[in-house]
């Protein structure tokens, strides 16, 4: 496979002004007629017309009315080139494709008998020949024709101009998108669907038509998506002055979808997982996911669509920014300060759980990558979540108002353009009169910076001298790193736990100072410090770095009890827990008997007890504080991972907490019941989270009473959050009741695909489910590899989130992984490639596991027929 480099970018030779597309939709044989008006790009450095095309059949090609023959163009390696053409060209292209054979879910495909498209990143070329690159922006008009009875709903981007009947029971719809857009934002839907709709008054007084389209029978699950859409529109108007620029905005749900959702202009296509919800079938987490993803896709209308990416290396320009926007939206929707902190903690967890490992592994890449083989492999936590952290740092440096000024300038300069990450950075710098040259390294250097600190209080001088050190490990292709520009938010706590007033360089800095670290080592002096402080460093997780060392156990206990910054307060608890988990892991791994003599110090238990029962703290925050770092986060701290030892250690802590905090957990279980009708609001969800954490810990050391509690909750709960939590507790407790409950649950929800996914996932995740049980589940009639959600719910869940079973010493998990990656690759390379990444960190496992993992990787790499997607991943893993 061929590597594509950012440095090789050249402007398109021709620009496209208008695109007229005609579709005669037929599952087996769809005819696509395209009429393009092109004009030579004055900035071009190459001459010929270059059109991409993949898996489609060229029927006819006309240039300015003249039919072209085989001598007039070349068609090789998915590229159609017309070497010489006049400056102004009308191209008419007729092609054929077979949507019902398209299992990749990229391009035009059939799901449950309905037509959908997915064009980002390079799916449009699977529909028609086109310069399929984001810097070619054109106006689209789309004519859809299909059988009326089978496909009563015909949708595309923009506004509906006309619809009507044709002969032979067919009908048509004509759509026009008034805005220029790149081809990756094209979409069509031809389907049997129903919709919830309403008109919504925009800030400027216009009325917009909002629609949520779903399969018949799901209209009882669209309210929350609709409400989230309205909140998103309002928020973008109020927060950024950005309005909906179309007369209508549509969301369409499909059960076969590679990702979460897609921001096609005016016609967002969603995975059902991020649309469908009601209390009976969806959990609090599902409701949160819907709100966030609906917002994310809506916000793309400005950050992504109106201003798009010059090339795919700039992907984070739209993704990092849009994730940051949806994160801020989620926080604003909750509204309270702790609510905001709880969402921030979730973000930190995601970074630690997924992004830091990526940045330390074979797929490490800068937020703006320098090269790729398959762009679909770069829709990563680095581009998305680390990208969002980079955007957040501008706001940390310039404040909310300064950030807004930068956004305004960005849109003033670049509306309807395809631009680079550097353009965003320049807008931020110029709007705030700041030089941000060094900040560019956040875009160009991969790897997670390591931050250390040393503090020294000078009693005589009444100063506190804080020295910050930064370094960044080597990553593939980047042996040396230069210092980053890191905003480090710092507070100082006095002996009573109160914030000190900060004076740095003679300036009053409130109680949290954002220090700007730009050197490898830098010293900051706080004056007027009358007592020995405890420093709270990196408040609100002010930069995506690993903060190492610097704290004693006593410091951490002080911060865990008192820090006014809730994120760092939580963080102190995580550090206390991590130290213990690492020590216990070492002990558990030493020998078989060691596991029996593990024990946890009373100091730690007491610290957790205090938080657990502190009624002044939100339940949601307490739940965050009581949740231990995951097994994979523990593994990430180890040079050589023994997954069984990690599992034994963490299970021991859970069970020990369940035993030693039994009374308090029971009391919280009772106190956080949410009587009355279910509501997904953050306060109620927080209560359920704490209650269900209590239930899980009680059942980590299950006695009859705890099991009975879980059973009662399973039987009586009226909402999926509580039912699923109870079922998971029963499954994890390894009690006979689990099998019955699983059967009851399946029986009740077998017609709800998203709940069946949960049923598979819950079992796949459980340390009680071994590979044989997974294989048995794969023979269940409801299982299929063809549906991405279903494949992920069982196969990926097991490989990624059930470490102790996946890493079975006999290597059977790895052989299973190889077999499934190969099977999936033949159907859907994007889904296969995600699964392939389960092996990213193979070099960190104990030698006996490592060689078996390498063998599995080599088995996949040795396949003759393999997609570029999977080949890139396994190739990098083995390199
Ligand atoms: N932009 C889409 C991602 C498309 C991925 C294609 N492999 C979803 C999103 O980030 O909103
Ligand atoms: Zn996005």
Residues 655-709: pLDDT tens digits?
Answer: 999 999 999 999 999 999 999 999 999 999 999 999 999 999 999 999 999 999 9
Residue 441 confidence class, pLDDT cut points 50, 70, 90? very high
Which of 484, 514, 543 is at the close of a domain?
543
Ligand 1 pocket member 315 (CB < 6 A) = no
> Is residue 62 within 8 Å of 51, Cβ to Cβ?
no
Please state, as a whole number, how many other Cβ atoms lie within 10 Å of the Cβ of residue 565.
24
Same domain, yes or no: 527 and 388: no
Atom from ligand 1 closest to the CA of residue 263: 11
**pLDDT (0 to 100) of residue 506:** 93
Among residues 497, 599, 613, the alpha carbon closest in space to that of 557 is found at: 497
What's the Rg (C-alpha) of the chain?
28
Residue 596 confidence class, pLDDT cut points 50, 70, 90? confident
On whether residue 708 sits in a domain, the answer given is: no
Same domain, yes or no: 430 and 455: no
On whether residue 339 sits in a domain, the answer given is: yes
Ligand 1 pocket member 356 (CB < 6 A) = no
On whether residue 369 sits in a domain, the answer given is: yes
Mean pLDDT along residues 78-94: 97
State the CATH number of the domain containing residue 497.
2.60.40.1840
Question: To which H or E segment does residue 564 belong?
Answer: none
Angular region, 866: left φ>0, alpha ψ -120 to 50, beta rest: beta
238 pLDDT higher than 90: yes
Ligand 1 pocket member 376 (CB < 6 A) = yes
Mean pLDDT along residues 344-371: 98
Place of tokens 């074979």: 362
Residues 18-62: pLDDT tens digits?
Answer: 999 999 999 999 999 999 999 999 999 999 999 999 999 999 999
Mean pLDDT along residues 261-287: 98
Ligand 1 centroid, distance to 211 Cα (angstroms): 21
Residue 550 confidence class, pLDDT cut points 50, 70, 90? confident
**pLDDT (0 to 100) of residue 314:** 99
591 pLDDT higher than 90: no
> Is residue 63 within 8 Å of 98, Cβ to Cβ?
no
Residues with CB under 5 A from ligand 2 (ion): 319, 322
**pLDDT (0 to 100) of residue 486:** 99
Same domain, yes or no: 422 and 492: no
Atom from ligand 1 closest to the CA of residue 297: 11
Ligand 1 pocket member 379 (CB < 6 A) = yes
Ligand 1 pocket member 228 (CB < 6 A) = no
State the CATH number of the domain containing residue 131.
2.60.40.1730
Determine the Cα–Cα distance for residues 421 and 310; give it in Å rounded to an integer.
9
Which of 389, 422, 444 is at the close of a domain?
444
Longest dimension (CA), the chain: 94
Say if pTM beats, i.e. exceeds, 0.95.
yes
Among residues 429, 304, 312, 442, the alpha carbon closest in space to that of 367 is found at: 442
**pLDDT (0 to 100) of residue 595:** 81
Which of 127, 159, 192 is at the close of a domain?
192
ipTM attached to this prediction: 0.99
Same domain, yes or no: 108 and 167: yes
Ligand 1 centroid, distance to 264 Cα (angstroms): 10
Mean pLDDT along residues 569-577: 98
Place of tokens 């230069």: 482
Same domain, yes or no: 315 and 387: yes
Average pLDDT, the chain: 98
Ligand 1 pocket member 184 (CB < 6 A) = no
Residue 467 confidence class, pLDDT cut points 50, 70, 90? very high
Residue nearest to atom 2 of ligand 1 (CA): 262
Ligand 1 centroid, distance to 632 Cα (angstroms): 26
On whether residue 682 sits in a domain, the answer given is: no
**Nearest listed ligand to the Cα of residue 322:** 2
Residue 594 confidence class, pLDDT cut points 50, 70, 90? confident
Ligand 1 mutation target, pool 262, 312, 329, most atoms within 8 A of CB: 262
Same domain, yes or no: 436 and 483: no
Same domain, yes or no: 765 and 834: yes
> Is residue 213 within 8 Å of 253, Cβ to Cβ?
yes
**pLDDT (0 to 100) of residue 592:** 80
**pLDDT (0 to 100) of residue 593:** 85
On whether residue 109 sits in a domain, the answer given is: yes
Same domain, yes or no: 431 and 343: yes
Mean pLDDT along residues 819-824: 98
Same domain, yes or no: 178 and 41: yes
State the CATH number of the domain containing residue 403.
1.10.390.10
Atom from ligand 1 closest to the CA of residue 323: 10
**pLDDT (0 to 100) of residue 514:** 98
Determine the Cα–Cα distance for residues 291 and 722; give it in Å rounded to an integer.
20
What is the DSSP code string of 672-708?
Answer: T---SS----HHHHHHHHHHHHHHHHHTTS--HHHHH
601 pLDDT higher than 90: yes
Same domain, yes or no: 772 and 800: yes
Ligand 1 mutation target, pool 292, 319, 374, most atoms within 8 A of CB: 319
Same domain, yes or no: 108 and 179: yes
Ligand 1 pocket member 319 (CB < 6 A) = yes
Ligand 1 pocket member 722 (CB < 6 A) = no
State the CATH number of the domain containing residue 820.
1.25.50.10
Range of the domain at 331: 308-444
Ligand 1 mutation target, pool 254, 259, 325, 868, most atoms within 8 A of CB: 259
On whether residue 282 sits in a domain, the answer given is: no
Same domain, yes or no: 483 and 374: no
How would you class 596 by CB atoms within 10 Å of its CB: exposed for 0-12, middle for 13-18, buried for 19 or more? exposed
Mean pLDDT along residues 834-844: 98
Mean pLDDT along residues 823-852: 98
Q: Which one of 297, 389, 631, 636 is the catalytic residue? A: 297
Tally the domains of the chain. 4
On whether residue 232 sits in a domain, the answer given is: no
Ligand 1 pocket member 263 (CB < 6 A) = yes
> What residue spans of 563-594 are helical by DSSP H?
566-590
Tell me the percentage of the chain whose pLDDT exceeds 90. Answer: 99
Q: Is 636 marked active-site? A: no
**pLDDT (0 to 100) of residue 1:** 85
On whether residue 115 sits in a domain, the answer given is: yes
């Amino acid at each position: 496979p061929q590597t594509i480099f950012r440095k090789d970018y050249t402007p398109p030779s021709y620009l496209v002004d208008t695109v007229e597309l005609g579709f005669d939709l037929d599952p087996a044989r769809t005819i696509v007629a395209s009429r393009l008006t092109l004009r030579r790009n004055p900035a071009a450095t190459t001459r010929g017309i270059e059109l991409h095309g993949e898996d489609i059949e060229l029927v006819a090609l006309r240039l300015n009315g003249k039919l072209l023959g085989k001598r007039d163009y070349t068609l090789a390696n998915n590229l159609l080139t017309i070497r010489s053409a006049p400056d102004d060209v009308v191209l008419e292209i007729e092609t054929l494709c077979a949507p019902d054979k398209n299992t990749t879910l990229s391009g035009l495909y059939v799901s449950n008998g309905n037509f959908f498209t997915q064009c980002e990143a390079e799916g449009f070329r699977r529909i028609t020949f086109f310069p399929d690159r984001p810097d070619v922006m054109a106006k689209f008009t789309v004519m859809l024709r299909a059988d009326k009875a089978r496909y009563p709903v015909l949708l595309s981007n923009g506004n509906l101009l006309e619809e009507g009947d044709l002969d032979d029971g067919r009908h048509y719809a004509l759509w026009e998108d008034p805005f220029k857009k790149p081809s990756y934002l094209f979409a069509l839907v031809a389907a049997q669907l129903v919709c919830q709709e309403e008109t919504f008054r925009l800030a400027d007084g216009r009325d917009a038509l909002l629609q949520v389209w779903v399969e018949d029978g799901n209209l009882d699950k669209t309210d929350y998506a609709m409400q989230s859409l309205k909140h998103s529109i309002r928020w973008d108007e109020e927060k950024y002055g950005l309005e909906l620029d179309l007369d209508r905005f549509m969301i369409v749900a499909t059960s076969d979808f590679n990702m979460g959702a897609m921001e096609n202009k005016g016609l967002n296509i969603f995975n059902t997982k991020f649309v469908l919800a009601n209390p009976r079938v969806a959990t609090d987490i599902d409701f949160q996911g819907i709100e966030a993803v609906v917002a994310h896709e809506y916000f793309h209308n400005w950050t992504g669509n109106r201003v798009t990416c010059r090339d795919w290396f700039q992907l984070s320009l739209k993704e990092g920014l849009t994730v940051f926007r949806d994160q801020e939206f989620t926080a604003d929707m909750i509204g309270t300060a702790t609510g905001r902190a709880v969402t921030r903690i979730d973000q930190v967890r995601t970074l630690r759980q997924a992004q830091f490992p990526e940045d330390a592994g074979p797929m490490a890449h800068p937020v703006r990558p320098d090269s790729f083989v398959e762009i679909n492999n770069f829709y990563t936590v680095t581009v998305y979540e680390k990208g969002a952290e980079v955007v957040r740092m501008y706001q940390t440096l310039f404040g909310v108002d300064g950030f807004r000024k930068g956004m305004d300038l960005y849109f003033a300069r670049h509306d309807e353009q395809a631009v680079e990450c550097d353009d965003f950075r320049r807008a931020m710098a110029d709007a705030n009169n700041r030089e941000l040259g060094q900040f560019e390294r956040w875009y160009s250097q991969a790897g997670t910076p390591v931050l250390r600190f040393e503090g020294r209080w000078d009693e005589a001088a009444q100063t506190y001298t804080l020295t910050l050190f930064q370094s960044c490990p080597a990553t593939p292709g980047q042996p040396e790193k230069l210092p980053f520009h890191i905003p480090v938010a710092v507070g100082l706590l006095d002996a009573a736990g109160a914030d000190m007033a900060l004076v740095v360089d003679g300036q009053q800095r409130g109680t949290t100072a954002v220090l700007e670290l730009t050197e490898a080592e830098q010293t900051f002096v706080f004056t007027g410090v009358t007592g020995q402080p405890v420093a709270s460093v990196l408040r609100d997780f002010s930069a995506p770095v690993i903060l190492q060392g610097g704290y004693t156990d006593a410091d951490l206990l002080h911060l865990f009890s008192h820090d006014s910054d809730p994120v760092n307060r939580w963080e102190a608890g995580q550090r206390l827990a991590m130290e213990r988990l690492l020590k216990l892991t070492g002990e558990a791994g030493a020998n078989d008997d060691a596991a029996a003599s593990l024990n946890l110090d009373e100091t730690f238990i007491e610290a957790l007890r205090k938080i657990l029962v502190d009624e002044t703290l939100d339940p949601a925050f307490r739940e965050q504080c009581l949740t231990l770092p995951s097994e994979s986060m523990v593994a990430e701290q180890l040079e050589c991972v023994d997954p069984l030892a990690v599992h034994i250690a963490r299970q021991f802590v859970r069970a020990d907490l369940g035993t030693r905090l039994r009374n308090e957990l029971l009391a919280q279980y009772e106190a956080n019941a949410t009587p009355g009708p279910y509501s997904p609001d953050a306060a109620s969800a927080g209560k359920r989270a704490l209650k269900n954490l209590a239930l899980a810990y009680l059942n980590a050391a299950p006695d009859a009473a705890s099991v009975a509690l879980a059973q009662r909750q399973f039987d009586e709960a009226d909402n999926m959050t509580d039912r699923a939590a109870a079922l998971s507790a029963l499954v994890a407790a390894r009690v006979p009741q689990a099998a019955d409950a699983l059967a009851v649950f399946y029986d009740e929800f077998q017609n709800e695909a998203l709940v069946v996914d949960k049923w598979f996932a819950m079992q796949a995740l459980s340390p009680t489910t071994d590979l044989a049980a997974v294989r048995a589940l794969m023979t269940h009639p409801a299982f299929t590899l063809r549906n991405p959600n279903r494949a992920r719910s069982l196969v990926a869940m097991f490989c990624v989130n059930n470490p102790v079973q996946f890493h079975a010493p006999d290597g059977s998990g790895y052989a299973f992984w190889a077999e499934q990656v190969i099977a999936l690759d033949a159907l859907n390379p994007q889904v296969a490639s995600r699964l392939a990444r389960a092996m990213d960190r193979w070099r960190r496992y104990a030698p006996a596991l490592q060689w078996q993992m390498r063998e599995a990787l080599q088995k996949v790499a040795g396949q003759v027929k393999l997609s570029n997607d999977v080949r890139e991943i396994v190739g990098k893993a083995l390199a």
